[in-house]
Amino acid sequence: MTQQLPFALDDQGRVSHPLTASHKGFYTCLECQGRLRLRRHLPGADRMFFVAHFQHAGQHSCKATAETVALQAARRLLKARVLQDLQNSGKIRLLRPCRSCQTGVEETLGIPDWAEVQEDVRVQLADRLLRLDGAVLAAEQVKLGWVLQPAPVDLLPMPFPVWELDFWRVLQHKPLWVADCPAEVLCADCERKTAQQMENPADEASTPHSRVSQAWNQLTSRKAIETLTQNSERTPRERAVQVLRQQGVNYRDLKDLGFVTLLIPCPDCGEEVVFATSKPAVVRQHKDQLGSLVTWLPGQRRHMHVCSHCGAQHPEEWFWEAWQHRLGERV
């Protein structure tokens, strides 16, 4: 059976997704560099949703799987992101988990005198051979390395920093989240609360139990229940109109321009948000009407959807997959 591959390289060496790739393009395999063809099937009697993938053209001996191709795509995307950050500012942007609330704390890591960024780097240590999915080198010496894992793994002490990253977050163009965080960091809110507790150690209002009790009382108050009831009685369109109005966007304008609008919980924070998209040329032409709904990848003509609550960015592929699998309500 021909393997269905989730990513491929276009004629310019960029990673392509089958949902947004063009049928007129020329695509190659990330594993064997063989010719691929794009397949997109419409829903029919034997399938409920779209089936989009790449597959090898003609006879081939490639043993690539969807997992290995996804890992290769994440390596290439991460290399391009790190290289762009270093070329622009000489620093890499990343998120480290707050030790108190586990939210992401943005940091920048500077690497002076860096020379190049490589994929699939092997480093000979005293006791073993270490294989990295990517690294930043200076004078042929590794200054920073990273491994892409679906779940964090334990690493022994290294002579240079090694990041543990989830390659699915990289594929979704989300901020770099460093799982292994030896340095304890605090977000701004937790720093303020810690300072208040140090100033007033006997203040019961600053204890964790009291904060949980206050939050629970707010959620179960009469006003909160009435607000929740009113929201549940409103139609998806009414809720979408309100969300757009808070961002200064007119729902009627989007509909007249032919945008597809989806009301869906954000996969990062769970809050209900509105995502709207259309053909890339239409999005670029009417980006002023979209306000803060979308942003643009640096150096590319591709847009990203932005959550109005947590600021998380989601690629267009996620939008169409969510729409096809009916994860949200079309309005």
pLDDT tens, position by position, 179-202:
765 556 777 887 887 777 777 655
Contacts of 75 (CB under 8 A, 6+ apart): 119, 120, 133, 134, 148, 167
Type of residue found at 320: W
Contacts of 260 (CB under 8 A, 6+ apart): 276, 277, 278, 323, 330
The 3-state secondary structure of 86-99, one letter per residue: HHHHCEEEEEEECC
**CA separation for the pair 240, 289 (Å, rounded):** 16
**pLDDT tens digits for 90-129?**
888 888 887 777 777 888 888 888 889 998 888 888 777 8
Distance spanning both ends of the chain, measured CA to CA: 39
By the 10 Å C-beta count (0-12 exposed, 13-18 middle, 19+ buried), 126 is classed as: exposed
- What are 163's strand-pairing partners? 146
Instruction: Specify the DSSP element, H or E, that contains 1.
Output: none
Give the model's pLDDT for residue 76: 92
**pLDDT tens digits for 288-305?**
888 888 888 766 677 888
Six token digits for residue 182: 């030896």
Q: What's the whole-number mean pLDDT along residues 39-53?
A: 64
pTM of the model as a whole: 0.64
Per the document, the length of the chain is 331
